[in-house]
Amino acid sequence: MLPGSIQISGETLSGAEIRDICESLRENSVRLLSLRGCQLSERDFGHVCRGVAESRSLAQLNLNLGIVSNINRVKQLAEALKTNRSVQSLFLHGSPLTDAGLALLNPALSIHPSLVALDLGDCMLGDEGINLICGLLPPDGAKSGLKELTLSANPGITSKGWGRLAIAVAHSSQLRVLNLDYNPLGDQVAGMLAVAVASSRTLEVLDLEGTGLTNQSAQTLLDMVENYPTALRTLILAENNISPELQQQISDLLSEGEEEEETEAHEVAAREKNPWICQNNSSSQMVLMTSGLGDSLLAETEM
């Protein structure tokens, strides 16, 4: 039987329900476990963590909206992730981790062999937390790292912390999606991020919704998209003080880049199908193809 999913939202879970969940985890019959906003006792949370540790099928774990509500639960989750080898996506959005909690969780995240998507939105993080997160975005040639990172609504992070993250993003050989929405970034941080995006060969989606940007930021981002080769395909700028005209210009340029890649992909496919076709245009550019975002690694986008 193929692994299925358990998705429960906003419920108070009984001991019997927890036992059923844990049994399914141990039997490797669960691929997605979501207990978003649920209430469960400290003892039952420990049982779930032990089930996570034993599962070899679990790929996505959603504990959004306050499930990991204290340091003891952080420790139990960290122990589970040290043993688990299968989780690819971890959602902790709305958990009061703070930098201290992330420091306890970080060793398990750093050594996990499968983790590629992490949601730490609204987790009360600061600059120390950002330093830890940068370690999950190893530079080119190093170990594998995150492909999707969400840091929405963490206003305690300063421009110094965001600058450190921008450097890590610029050198990451893995990151494809970065969500920074609803942080008070401002134009200065946006400028640093523009440099990071121009340097990155992998970043395809950047969410800057509601981050205090103005036309100054938009012009910098427009210049970046217009003048530098980039993997970026989606840039979200809603709920900022940016003119519709500038937003449209950026959107049009990103769309042009996608169309060019699609054309190149068709040409490559045609050459592979008909290898005898001679390419006489010696001035044609070589285009580095990306696989495209496709389906999001975060299959369950609800927070």
What does the DSSP assignment read for 191-233? Answer: HHHHHHHHH-SS--EEE-TTS--BHHHHHHHHHHHHHS-----
Over residues 19-65, the pLDDT tens digits come to 999 999 999 999 999 999 999 999 999 999 999 999 999 999 999 99
Check if the beta carbon of residue 166 is closer than 8 Å to that of residue 172: no
Domain boundaries, the chain: 1-124, 126-260
Torsion from C-alpha of 102, 103, 104, 109, nearest 10 degrees: 70
Question: In the numeric block, which tokens belong to residue 229?
Answer: 């080769």
Equal fold, 1-124 vs 126-260? yes
Global pTM? 0.85
pLDDT at residue number 2: 59
CA–CA separation, 27 vs 163, rounded Å? 45
**Which parts of the chain have pLDDT scores under 50?**
1, 265-266, 268-270, 273, 275-303
pLDDT at residue number 283: 37
CA–CA separation, 40 vs 13, rounded Å? 6
pLDDT at residue number 3: 74
Q: Which fold has domain 1-124?
A: 3.80.10
Helix ranges restricted to H, the chain = 15-26, 42-54, 71-83, 98-111, 127-134, 159-171, 186-199, 215-227, 244-273
For domain 126-260, give the CATH superfamily.
Ribonuclease Inhibitor (3.80.10.10)
Question: In the numeric block, which tokens belong to residue 44?
Answer: 């039952």
pLDDT at residue number 296: 45
pLDDT at residue number 300: 45
pLDDT at residue number 144: 78
pLDDT at residue number 260: 53
pLDDT at residue number 141: 63
